Structure 1
């Protein structure tokens, strides 16, 4: 079988590796090289790095729907499948109609829930206890195509978005190969999504990451887990930005104003919330590195009574 793979971030790499092992990958489409990091060094995508290891031709359209050369290449390849994993661009109907057996997309949620850009993060932020991967036949909508296979993953109370990402990344690569095999052998029936059950996982922003201490300790703890390792939840401590990497819920309540630092000790910083206490365990200030509170307070003071905003 001839396959074209479209993907960009680290999440897509195990899927590309699995498909290269089993099938003939004729081309890889990924996002253009872009400046990255403090030095703005132009960097290729994770998927491009992997493709070059296997000497697979790589195409990097700025907007694939407007790139006639890239579309013509697809027509010449005449692939059996186009496989899409976090490519980062919406494919027009013209491209969706090219492969003989369809375009398969791997999405990191239990569709129709959490369509969109950040399903892993929002599943944790919203306090879900399970999520998973879904493969689907793509249509012109955003994650609205007919579902093929799904796999479920438990979200534990302490799991971060980074940890869940790594689990789903491997699980998804296996599900994708299983989907290709079952679809080509007629062993799976596409199932329509129920739009009434859908919700949207919007892109993360700096506003998403700012902690509202009027929320409950459970909600804030979920936010901190869901934004680790990026973009990291933050608050203001005496006009300094304080990022919070790890926290824990404490059951007892307090009449203090939400955001008040109640106690600072080796175990962390106890902060009042709209409902309950949050124990902040790992923090970072500008110019410094992430540290456990136990380490940070050896050389710096965190004052009790200060209100975080």
Structure 2
């Protein structure tokens, strides 16, 4: 018997998972978000998963709203045995979850019940977690609240940022899905309820989340910067302009300066005072209207020592 599978996903994170799935199983259709205008010229662009589906020759469906009756009807016509989602981007209605006899499962980039929601990778770093991972779970009506089928851990090091962790978790997710699917398809898998007392929620990153608060500890500021790198980027204010900070080194030394003060420059950048008296070394920045550059190049030729970096209102 060849099971009929529908895959639902949208961003880059989901592409390796779709490709691995396609190598072994029959993916009858890929469902992704609609094409959207991108960039200054507003060029209509397909999401990464939609592009991957086209390249793999898998039929593609991009409804505006997955809960519309017309969209649900088209999915029901396929008679899928299983629906697999990975960062699709819309809440699935119960009417959709009830279609496949084997249910709907989700590949989620955290160790549930920690970091339910849309930004688990960013916030695992921003909140200073020492480890994270991927969870495969049954979909339910609540936000990432279904029973856990399997999970796999990975440590978070000081060298990780959201970019490196994103790519690693995507690969882990693909591997874990392939290891978990045989039991799901045979109906022999186990699952456990999530511990409600351990639930944390990680909503999508807002503009307010991107601002650096230098009054926090150096460790917290360091985690904030790398948790938002390379996208969307943490920022502060320099000389009335927005300054994005993409890279920094762990807390070091001590300072009696006001938080946000550039204490001195280094061969690789500049040291900035934080709220706990420690400093971090900023090494990659981008001033509004300019290209990203090494912080040492940014500091060169500027009387920057003693400047106090502040938040954009």
TM-score per shorter chain, which class?
over 0.9
Bigger shift: residues 43-52 or 179-188: 179-188
Aligned to 1:54: 56
Bigger shift: residues 68-77 or 83-92: 68-77
Does the Cα contact within 8 Å between 2:212 and 2:236 map onto a contact in 1? yes
Q: What is the Cα deviation at residue 53 of structure 1?
A: 1.5
Taking the TM superposition and a 5 Å limit, the aligned residue runs for 1:1-309 are 1-66=3-68, 68-275=69-276, 276-298=278-300, 300-309=301-310
TM-score when normalising by structure 1:
0.96
Q: What is the Cα deviation at residue 24 of structure 1?
A: 1.1
Q: Distance in 2 between matches of 1:249 and 1:140?
A: 40
**Secondary structure in structure 2 of the residue aligned to 1:49:** helix
Q: Distance in 2 between matches of 1:76 and 1:214?
A: 56
RMSD: 1.2
**Secondary structure in structure 1 of the residue aligned to 2:77:** helix
Superposed CA offset, 1:261-299 (max 9, x none): 11123231111110111111111112211111222334x
Structure 2 stretches of 5 or more lacking a match?
none
Bigger shift: residues 195-204 or 241-250: 241-250
Superposed CA offset, 1:236-263 (max 9, x none): 0121111111111343222211111111
Q: Distance in 2 between matches of 1:28 and 1:69?
A: 16
Does the Cα contact within 8 Å between 1:206 and 1:231 map onto a contact in 2? no
Does the Cα contact within 8 Å between 2:65 and 2:71 map onto a contact in 1? no
Bigger shift: residues 92-101 or 73-82: 73-82
Does the Cα contact within 8 Å between 1:135 and 1:148 map onto a contact in 2? yes
Does the Cα contact within 8 Å between 2:7 and 2:85 map onto a contact in 1? yes
Q: What is the Cα deviation at residue 302 of structure 1?
A: 4.5
TM-score when normalising by structure 2:
0.95
Query: In the superposition, relative to structure 1, how do residues 250 and 15 fare at CA in structure 2: closer, same or farther (>3 Å)?
Result: closer
Q: Distance in 1 between matches of 2:177 and 2:115?
A: 19
Bigger shift: residues 72-81 or 180-189: 180-189
The structure 1 segments of at least 4 consecutive aligned residues displaced by more than 4 Å after TM superposition are none
Task: Give the length in aligned residue pairs.
Answer: 307
Q: Distance in 2 between matches of 1:295 and 1:136?
A: 47
Bigger shift: residues 184-193 or 109-118: 184-193
Does the Cα contact within 8 Å between 2:219 and 2:251 map onto a contact in 1? no
